[in-house]
């Protein structure tokens, strides 16, 4: 316990590092973006999966991303599916399948070494473990969880980088 106190204190004292020139770009859906979508477009959370599919297309074709990683679980059918409209899960899966850029999807590794299934019917999903540590503050990161590569390790393998 005392180790954690020292570690946490030293971590907070370290100088901030600029990430402006980082090769990694994080596009986050946070409270502010969720509120903005609600106010400006009248679209609540969860956002249509088709929006995420359009993001994949943009990142693949325009931004030339090396990988697209979703740290969101798509373990249930989209709340936006309706009989009279195109299936939101299928639209998302179509974008994943059409992407030349690897799309890594979050899943949960289960203790029996199986994986929580995803709802969108992606033909050959690339899955990475997104299991969160039981610690209140995350101080360690497991590269493999119950036999499944973490999202980070799976991404590194997909872009052929060594960790």
pLDDT tens column, 25-84: 888 899 999 999 999 999 999 999 999 999 999 999 999 999 999 999 999 999 888 777
Q: Which two three-digit tokens encode residue 80?
A: 């936006």
Q: Which two three-digit tokens encode residue 15?
A: 């100088």
Cis status of the peptide bond prior to 101, with omega within 30 of 0: no
The percentage of residues in the chain with a pLDDT greater than 70, rounded to a whole number, is 99
């Amino acid at each position: 316990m005392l180790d954690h106190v020292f570690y946490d204190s030293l971590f907070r004292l370290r100088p901030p590092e600029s990430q402006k020139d980082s090769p990694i770009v994080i596009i986050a859906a946070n409270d502010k973006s969720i509120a903005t979508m609600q106010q400006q477009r009248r679209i609540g959370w969860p956002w249509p999966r088709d929006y995420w599919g359009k993001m994949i297309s943009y990142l693949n074709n325009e931004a030339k991303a090396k990988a697209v990683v979703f740290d969101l679980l798509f373990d249930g059918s989209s709340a936006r599916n309706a009989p009279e409209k195109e299936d939101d899960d299928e639209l998302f899966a179509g974008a994943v399948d059409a992407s030349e850029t690897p799309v890594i999807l979050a899943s949960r590794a289960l203790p029996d070494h199986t994986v929580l299934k995803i709802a969108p019917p992606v033909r050959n999903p690339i899955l990475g473990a997104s299991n969160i540590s039981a610690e209140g503050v995350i101080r360690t990161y497991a590269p493999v969880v119950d036999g499944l590569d973490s999202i980070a390790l799976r991404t590194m393998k997909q872009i052929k980088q060594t960790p």
